[in-house]
Structure 1
Amino acid sequence: MKSILPKIVATTVVAFSFSFSAVAQETDKRISQKSLSENGEPSLITFNEKSTYKGSDYEKVFKEQLALKDNQSFAKVKSESDREGFTHEKFQLYEQGIKVEFANYTLHSKNGKLESMNGEFYKIVNAKIKPSLSAQEAFNRAVAHTGAKKYLWDSPQDAAAMDYKKPKGELVFLPDMENQGVERITDKVRLAYKFDIYATNPLSRGDLYIDAVTGQALFYNATIKHLGENSHGKSKAAVKDNSSNSKMAIVSANAATRYSGTQTIETTLSGSSYILLDGTRGGGIQTYNSSRTATYPTTNFTDADNNWTAAEYNNTNKDNGALDAHWGAEMTYDYWSTVHGRNSFDNAGAKIKSYVHYNLIAAGYPDNNNAFWNGSVMTYGDGSGTGGFDILTAMDVAGHEIGHAVCTYTANLAYQKESGAMNEGFSDIWGACIEYRAAPTKGTWLVGEDIERRSGHAALRSMSDPNSEGQPDTYGGTYWKNVNCTPTNSNDYCGVHTNSGVLNHWFYILSVGKSGTNDIGSVYNVTGITIDKAAKIAYRLESVYLTANSTFANARTSGIQSAIDLYGAGSAEVIATTNAFYAVGVGAAYVGSGDTTPPSAPASLAASGTTGTTTNLTWTASTDNVAVTGYDVYQGTTLKGTATTTNYTVTGLTALTAYTFSVKAKDAAGNVSAASNTVNVTTLAAGVTYCASKGNSTADEKIGKVVFGTINNTSTGTAGYENFTAISSNAAQGTAYTITITPSWTATVYTEGYAVFIDYNQDGDFSDAGETVWTKATSKTTPVTGTITIPATATLGTTRLRVSMKYNGIPTSCEAFSYGQVEDYSVNITASGPVAITELVADASAVSSEFAIYPNPADKELNVSSLGKTGSTFKIINTLGQQVGSGQLSDNPIDVSKLNAGIYVIELNSGQKRVTKKFIKK
């Protein structure tokens, strides 16, 4: 985890359809794609058929593509070939002869032709190369900063087992690690001494960088990688390893493991006993017994007949956990060898050593609920059982920890912020892959499910549902840890074990597929490509393209390139890789010229919270064969706005006006869905704002249910005020309605008082005569009922209905009281009785011809003539009795263009006469 964000900073200069936004035209016609890192330097360049670069042209390439200065140089540090026919040559940057830490660049060639290049590069200006402190002075600062009681160099035997020596300090240039991931104007570096500090009490190991001028501790890159952040007698037949002095034979054996049943393992006959040493894989796999000490002795687990049974090893010491550790290390080696062609974690046959029964408490930890890779060996705690973990030797734990070693020898992702989160994520990925291959009946997508003993937890982490264990499944989404911090052990180096959920979920989606809406509102639909193909892409991403300080944005760029290398541009695998990153909130969806499938139509469009000028629209998300990228909101046939989520607030509306809205979905290829259902909205009178009223506590009583007209709402909300104005009922002038309120008590039944208010004149208060429409004195009755008659003078249209329940008193309309609850609803006042489709005359003495309306049917305008217009008003009412328009008559026609097609009634009122006529809107 290495960036600062939650914004993702990545720039691409030239982009393919699968990739990123183009920001400038690249003048070098040999380049098909160039991605820039946060400091503006190229992080990935791919070349096209016009390029004549050869893999051997590295000096020319670095000069031309990176503008390498005379005082800078690259030295080759590694060259590897893969199964796809690529050769990968990694180079280290030096400034004035001093190594620039993390600044590696790799050239990728095929058949001698340079295909691409990627890495970290820094344009360094005026760097001072003379230290003010000696290496010894800097070392003293490093020890003081660490503040441990004991160090590994104090125990020569353990240090030799780890092949560790007291550090002398290496002079390097260190990039600005504090601001990794934010846009930097300069490539600032600090001259520093680098020390590999291994403390044994309290336990820690990492590279500590001390400023060679000021002595300040600049950065700590943890080497010990734990399974999780703060994861919550003598063993059988423990003997010293005398294998080097004994005649040895490698044989197969049955082992009754603790977590995976009886499995075949390789052991070695040493003298008269068999030990957990496999000499058939690489440089060997050996499992030792730390015997509940915080040391690394050469003490073996032994068996007399090479039949490692449960009767012997399933004991109170949990010795059968050592069999899991041994078998897990063997299966991990086999996975890397068979699937990825890798010879142990370093690709050079390194021996895999595991130490079981390590005492973390003696090493300064609060409990034994952890396992870790310490930079040299695997180390397993015994766990604490109930409330924590069982012995931590499960297969996916072994795969996870050895995966950290693989990362060290490939991307070497710095253990902080985004790069550290991906370091943890890749280890979870490899644990899942190894478990899937060796034990497919286990929970592939759960991490540590075998060892989990905490109540309420299925596992330590879930790759299929990271949120279930407190991890984010979306970049910057729920549970995301802000990485704009100074990394320390106490903040888990800015959340490396938390934010790893994003990469975990990407891999899960890429493997099995998924559709849905992520935390930032992006709607996605990813077709899985199988765990085997996803693993090949992930391994190429980690081993070929990522560098120490890579971000999630870099991972997206390189992940797509990895899929292209393996499966070809425009392939289903490239599409899935791109869209899986989109699904977890990293980058855009795939854009391909061949996609002609539109998204499904949005459904269940609804409006709520309508005011005089705004309304809130919500709908059900659409689905697409690739990904939904947004929604267009229409007011009638006019595009009103766009949304990336399934809600939109319409603004700029006119009071007391009818509107119709619909929504269409669109995808990255420009395909547009059919329209959603339409929703009709009539805005309220202008400037209507209601006073606040609430109960301060609903712990003992609240409103359980309200029934009025067609409102029939059972409320489970526990807030003192609940806004249910999206729920409404028609109520006709002059008509009586029953209201029923059901109280809800937690335990004791209390006396409650009630009041109901309706804003009949729609002026934004309940203080006018008659607007307190019903009250009920305090009682324990349930439910309570009353009758409300809508007055003939009530203004037509939508208004507010407020229901209040107060402990031991009758509430007022704008009161905040101690106990109880207030709920607001909407009520649509309609004209009395059904609206006739014949001409209506309210005043029998009035001659209807005194008012003339034309044209009828009307399209955009309706004219009214005769009977002196001065002082006359009009109202327009639809067939549901809803007022959809009003105003003052003038010589100008009435604008009816916004009305839906249908039959309406216009009421014309001169003050003395009121005439109602019908008209038709085309």
Structure 2
Amino acid sequence: MERKLPRIITAALLILSLSAAAQVTDKRVSQKNVSENGQPSLITFSDVSTYKGTDSQKVFKEQLGLKDNQSFRKVKAETDKQGYTHEKFQLYEQGIKVEFANYTLHSQNGKLVSMNGEYYNIENVKLTPALSQQEAFNRALSHTHASEYLWEKPQDAKEIGYEKPVGELVLLPDMEQQGEQRTTDKVRLAYKFDIYATKPLSRGDLYIDAQTGKALFYNATIKHLNDNVHARKVSASKSESKETVSAKKAIVAANAATRYSGTQTIQTTLSGSSYILLDGTRGNGIQTYNSARTATYPTTNFTDADNNWTAAEYNNTNKDNGALDAHWGAEMTYDYWSAVHGRNSYDDAGAKIKSYVHYNLIAAGYSSNNNAFWNGSVMTYGDGSGTGGFDILTSLDVAGHEIGHAVCTYTANLAYQKESGAMNEAFSDIWAACIEYRAAPTKSTWLVGEDIERRSGHVALRSMSNPKSEGQPDTYGGTNWISVSCTPTSSNDYCGVHTNSGVFNHWFYILSVGKTGTNDIGSSYNVTGIGIDKAAKIAFRLEDVYLTSNSTFANARTSGIQSAIDLYGAGSAEVIATTNAFYAIGVGAVYSGSTDTTAPSAPTGLAASGTTGTTTNLTWTASTDNVAVTGYDIYQGTTLKGSSTTTSYNVTGLTALTTYSFTVKAKDAAGNVSAASNAVSVTTTAATVSYCASQGNSTADERISKVVFGTINNTSTGTAGYENYTSLSTNAARGSAYTITITPVWTSTTYNEGYAVFIDYNQDGDFADSGETVWTKAASKTTPVTGTITIPATAVLGATRMRVSMKYNAIPTSCEGFSYGQVEDYTINITASGTIEAEPIAAGITETTETESFALYPNPVESELNISLSEANGYSYKIINTLGQQLGSGQVSGTIDVSRLSTGIYLIELNNGAKKIVKKFAKQ
């Protein structure tokens, strides 16, 4: 919390903006940036300033020249984690609101630090309309030229909280001009109407000139995922309820087999005898409805009888499992904003997030269902057209993108045209990437819409790392850039908002991970990334605190740098990276805050410790610098692995039994980089996995008595809620079907029991992947219960975990604790399909056929052979090849290392002097 005024002012003096920097004569002001109309867009104050945070009207008059017939009315005030208070004001001219004219005062410890926004020095404006509200409304309808409007559908309008517009009289700036084109303070008296047309579908604020009736500007509220793709019954298999769900009904966790993200935990609500997609644990709720391939917003719920939303039920021709993605995606989006930015839903007031799946865009006047959108009130998802278009548009990043538009409405409220509209779209892509990175880090963070993409020649809708690969620009004014010197309409994507967004997307990517190169305007750059978490904090502060409705890329640069200063201090590595990332995309100059050219000394004493199958911990001795070391970059070979501000770094994501070489370089605030440290070589250990806990809390009334699967035939006498029988194993061949039998036992009363079996086929330490819930049975009193499990061809060879669960009155999930029942874990050894080719045993050696007191597993084996004997004492072993040659020997102690054996068939001979056992095994 040391980032006080002097540091902010120092940096402000060093940073140049693309908007003009006014000559400062007021000693209270350290920096003043002005827009092209000559009005201040950002003012920072020096340490001699006496302005307090409460001096709003005084500072508006003295710094903006606010006239007597003008006023600023406070609309919002909030205090952030850095201790800044931000007060947002709306400009009025003779009592009439000036649209988009907001100014924000930023203070710390009661002292005014800076102020920024849009201001118009209005003169000679007509404030008496020539048209009545009704006449203007008729002009608005004539301009919209729709055949249907939402106010003609009262039930749908009520569901999303929409009312027929009456028209608000406002003063509208000249929206034909933006950025460098805006050279005047011209405003016009206009009627503002929120027009929601349902055929063809559109929603936006339409401004009608109150003197002439001309349509002046249309600010689209419905923001589609992608206007470059033609966008212009699915009755869920269990869809039935239309009731309004009471908050008093039971909210429970459930497993959901989503279409794009595997099995995930969601929150549902018991409504009558079924469960519905209503989460009452987040804000004022998250609910997912079924539009049933209509262009309407009904209150039809997706329902499930047992709250186990399986692929067998929902992965159907209707694509109903897409509703599970939409619901989970909304939950993960809420969680991101809450956990990372401390925000309670998109409006920061707990607003309920409603999603409508199977919405029919064709019925709403579009040429296909290849789109999703935020309509100003709710999320709306089309089913897509499949091949040549998109799959159902409910993927995690699409949900994060569209709800991101709602966040923008309640923060910067960027006007949906030209540069401000491009940043509106880009911020939604940025939040989609951040949400996907947090909730599903194995997905492609920097691709947007990769899960739904079905077009030939495309891997995604957009690429933030390489925008040009999907037809977007990565440089301001460069290749693929669409000129903003146009009249924005829906047919030109409001002057290219979905295309030009690629430039700002690329800024965020470069800020996060770093990049070296030369952009389209010939500027060479070298940016050290600061990580997606820090980049997200800077980006959100920029959107939430500094940007205004008509902000340009130049404004974003000035305010983005200020955001980094607020968060990380003047001259910090984060400020340098923010500045240089803007330079990399062709916006503004390279960072020039220091003339320091001396690199830090090279780190020494690099060492590794605590190495596992996937991680290792690196430590080193700190470097020195003539100014200050700001951090360290860690390299795996020549690849940048990550960065640290301390002298340690935990490397993750490594592969088991692999050798790596690491070095470290130090860096300073001026961007100087040291020579590399000594190299350290690390070999990871064998992979290990750790499984989630699951158990019954009581086995007093019922438990598992016996499990039979393959050669596992285990009669259990254990009475704990969880029993670990992983010492018991059986082989299971790919492509083969096996019967599982589970026998329950009751103490007295016979109860209904539900069952589930899980196998970790990909051996990643969980049962959450597609197909790993291998068998379930609804609650019944049947004893025993049996089912068939087929081992998939994709299962990873070798030993893995099988979990058998029995739960009172419901089907259990893989990682839950429940009141009554039991969980048992076993080992399954996945083998290749078909039989192992046996070689003849050497003359004079006979294989033992009696195996009741003996077990050998896994077989085939990769590295460690496990020996289980009923008489464990005194056995020695020999390993013999099929020619009778001895290759190894020793005392039996549970496991034998056979990793050095070549692939083939071997025999193991066990002998305690009184008994000899000989058995074949296969080495993979």
With the shorter chain as reference, the TM-score category is 0.5 to 0.7
SS at the partner of 1:240? coil
**Residues 528-585 of structure 1: per-residue CA shift (max 9 Å, x gap):** 0000000000000000000000000000000000000000000000000000000000
Q: What is the aligned partner in structure 2 of residue 176 from structure 1?
A: 174
Output the amino acid matched with 2:205: D
In 2, are the aligned partners of 1:227 and 1:371 still within 8 Å (CA)? yes
| 1:19 lines up with 2:20 in the alignment | no
CA 1:43/1:513 → structure 2, altered by over 3 Å: closer, same or farther? same
Q: What is the aligned partner in structure 2 of residue 471 from structure 1?
A: 472
**Residues 606-627 of structure 1: per-residue CA shift (max 9 Å, x gap):** xxxxxxxxxxxxxxxxxxx99x
Alpha-carbon shift at residue 236 of structure 1 (Å)? 1.4
**Residues 467-509 of structure 1: per-residue CA shift (max 9 Å, x gap):** 0000000000000001100000000000000000011000000
Alpha-carbon shift at residue 193 of structure 1 (Å)? 0.2
Distance in 2, matches of 1:343 and 1:560, equals 26
In 2, are the aligned partners of 1:158 and 1:296 still within 8 Å (CA)? yes
- The alignment of Structure 1 onto Structure 2 pairs a total of residues equal to 595
Q: What is the aligned partner in structure 2 of residue 533 from structure 1?
A: 534
Distance in 2, matches of 1:579 and 1:24, equals 23
SS at the partner of 2:303? strand
SS at the partner of 2:189? strand
**Residues 26-60 of structure 1: per-residue CA shift (max 9 Å, x gap):** 11111111111121111111112111111110000
| 1:459 lines up with 2:456 in the alignment | no
Alpha-carbon shift at residue 14 of structure 1 (Å)? 11
Counting only pairs closer than 5 Å after superposition, residues 144-543 of structure 1 correspond to structure 2 as: 144-232=142-230, 233=233, 234-244=235-245, 248-543=249-544
Unaligned 5+ runs, structure 2: 1-8, 600-628, 631-668, 673-924
SS at the partner of 2:180? coil
CA 1:184/1:273 → structure 2, altered by over 3 Å: closer, same or farther? closer
Distance in 1, matches of 2:183 and 2:555, equals 19
TM-score, normalised with respect to structure 2:
0.63
SS at the partner of 1:131? coil
Output the amino acid matched with 2:214: Q
**Residues 337-392 of structure 1: per-residue CA shift (max 9 Å, x gap):** 00000000000000000000000000000000000000000000000000000000
Output the amino acid matched with 2:504: L
Root-mean-square deviation over aligned CA pairs? 2.2
Q: What is the aligned partner in structure 2 of residue 835 from structure 1?
A: none
In 2, are the aligned partners of 1:373 and 1:401 still within 8 Å (CA)? yes
Equivalent of 1:32 in 30, 33, 42: 30
Alpha-carbon shift at residue 183 of structure 1 (Å)? 4.2
SS at the partner of 1:474? coil
Alpha-carbon shift at residue 597 of structure 1 (Å)? 5.7
SS at the partner of 2:250? strand
| 1:559 lines up with 2:560 in the alignment | yes
Q: What is the aligned partner in structure 2 of residue 131 from structure 1?
A: 129
In 2, are the aligned partners of 1:13 and 1:34 still within 8 Å (CA)? no
Distance in 2, matches of 1:230 and 1:458, equals 15
CA 1:353/1:249 → structure 2, altered by over 3 Å: closer, same or farther? same
Counting only pairs closer than 5 Å after superposition, residues 811-822 of structure 1 correspond to structure 2 as: none
Alpha-carbon shift at residue 244 of structure 1 (Å)? 3.5
Alpha-carbon shift at residue 280 of structure 1 (Å)? 0.3
SS at the partner of 2:253? strand
Output the amino acid matched with 1:256: A
**Residues 761-781 of structure 1: per-residue CA shift (max 9 Å, x gap):** xxxxxxxxxxxxxxxxxxxxx
In 2, are the aligned partners of 1:13 and 1:24 still within 8 Å (CA)? no
Alpha-carbon shift at residue 592 of structure 1 (Å)? 2.2
In 1, are the aligned partners of 2:247 and 2:280 still within 8 Å (CA)? no
Q: What is the aligned partner in structure 1 of residue 882 from structure 2?
A: none
CA 1:260/1:157 → structure 2, altered by over 3 Å: closer, same or farther? same
In 1, are the aligned partners of 2:418 and 2:494 still within 8 Å (CA)? yes
Alpha-carbon shift at residue 309 of structure 1 (Å)? 0.2
Alpha-carbon shift at residue 462 of structure 1 (Å)? 0.1
Output the amino acid matched with 2:558: T
**Aligned sequence identity (%):** 81
Output the amino acid matched with 1:96: Q
| 1:116 lines up with 2:108 in the alignment | no
In 2, are the aligned partners of 1:13 and 1:36 still within 8 Å (CA)? no
Distance in 2, matches of 1:377 and 1:246, equals 20
Output the amino acid matched with 1:178: E
**Residues 781-802 of structure 1: per-residue CA shift (max 9 Å, x gap):** xxxxxxxxxxxxxxxxxxxxxx
Output the amino acid matched with 2:361: L
CA 1:196/1:246 → structure 2, altered by over 3 Å: closer, same or farther? closer
In 2, are the aligned partners of 1:36 and 1:42 still within 8 Å (CA)? yes
**Residues 162-200 of structure 1: per-residue CA shift (max 9 Å, x gap):** 100000000000000001223444300000000000000
**Residues 93-123 of structure 1: per-residue CA shift (max 9 Å, x gap):** 0001100000000111111111111100000
Output the amino acid matched with 2:96: I
CA 1:184/1:492 → structure 2, altered by over 3 Å: closer, same or farther? closer
Alpha-carbon shift at residue 241 of structure 1 (Å)? 2.7
| 1:545 lines up with 2:546 in the alignment | yes
In 2, are the aligned partners of 1:13 and 1:26 still within 8 Å (CA)? no
Distance in 2, matches of 1:330 and 1:124, equals 45
Alpha-carbon shift at residue 261 of structure 1 (Å)? 0.2
**Residues 707-728 of structure 1: per-residue CA shift (max 9 Å, x gap):** xxxxxxxxxxxxxxxxxxxxxx
Alpha-carbon shift at residue 230 of structure 1 (Å)? 3.8
Q: What is the aligned partner in structure 2 of residue 730 from structure 1?
A: none
Distance in 2, matches of 1:218 and 1:420, equals 17
Alpha-carbon shift at residue 247 of structure 1 (Å)? 5.9
Q: What is the aligned partner in structure 1 of residue 5 from structure 2?
A: none
In 1, are the aligned partners of 2:22 and 2:33 still within 8 Å (CA)? no
| 1:59 lines up with 2:24 in the alignment | no
In 2, are the aligned partners of 1:15 and 1:34 still within 8 Å (CA)? no
Alpha-carbon shift at residue 20 of structure 1 (Å)? 3.9
Alpha-carbon shift at residue 23 of structure 1 (Å)? 5.4
The structure number with the bigger radius of gyration is 1
Counting only pairs closer than 5 Å after superposition, residues 828-843 of structure 1 correspond to structure 2 as: none
In 1, are the aligned partners of 2:269 and 2:279 still within 8 Å (CA)? yes
Distance in 2, matches of 1:23 and 1:349, equals 40
Output the amino acid matched with 2:27: K
In 2, are the aligned partners of 1:14 and 1:34 still within 8 Å (CA)? no
**Residues 34-89 of structure 1: per-residue CA shift (max 9 Å, x gap):** 11112111111111211111111000010000000001000001111111111111
In 1, are the aligned partners of 2:31 and 2:45 still within 8 Å (CA)? yes
In 2, are the aligned partners of 1:62 and 1:68 still within 8 Å (CA)? yes
Distance in 1, matches of 2:301 and 2:596, equals 61
TM-score, normalised with respect to structure 1:
0.63
Distance in 2, matches of 1:566 and 1:209, equals 38
SS at the partner of 2:516? strand
In 1, are the aligned partners of 2:21 and 2:31 still within 8 Å (CA)? no
Equivalent of 2:86 in 85, 88, 92: 88
CA 1:587/1:562 → structure 2, altered by over 3 Å: closer, same or farther? same
Distance in 1, matches of 2:159 and 2:670, equals 58
SS at the partner of 2:386? coil
In 2, are the aligned partners of 1:204 and 1:224 still within 8 Å (CA)? yes
Counting only pairs closer than 5 Å after superposition, residues 571-582 of structure 1 correspond to structure 2 as: 571-582=572-583
Alpha-carbon shift at residue 24 of structure 1 (Å)? 5.1
**Residues 204-261 of structure 1: per-residue CA shift (max 9 Å, x gap):** 0000000000000000000001100142442212223314469611000000000000
CA 1:13/1:416 → structure 2, altered by over 3 Å: closer, same or farther? farther
Distance in 2, matches of 1:93 and 1:67, equals 13
CA 1:142/1:24 → structure 2, altered by over 3 Å: closer, same or farther? closer
SS at the partner of 1:456? coil
Distance in 1, matches of 2:278 and 2:242, equals 10
Q: What is the aligned partner in structure 2 of residue 79 from structure 1?
A: 77
Output the amino acid matched with 1:556: R
In 1, are the aligned partners of 2:11 and 2:593 still within 8 Å (CA)? no
SS at the partner of 2:476? coil
Distance in 2, matches of 1:20 and 1:135, equals 42
Distance in 1, matches of 2:265 and 2:143, equals 47
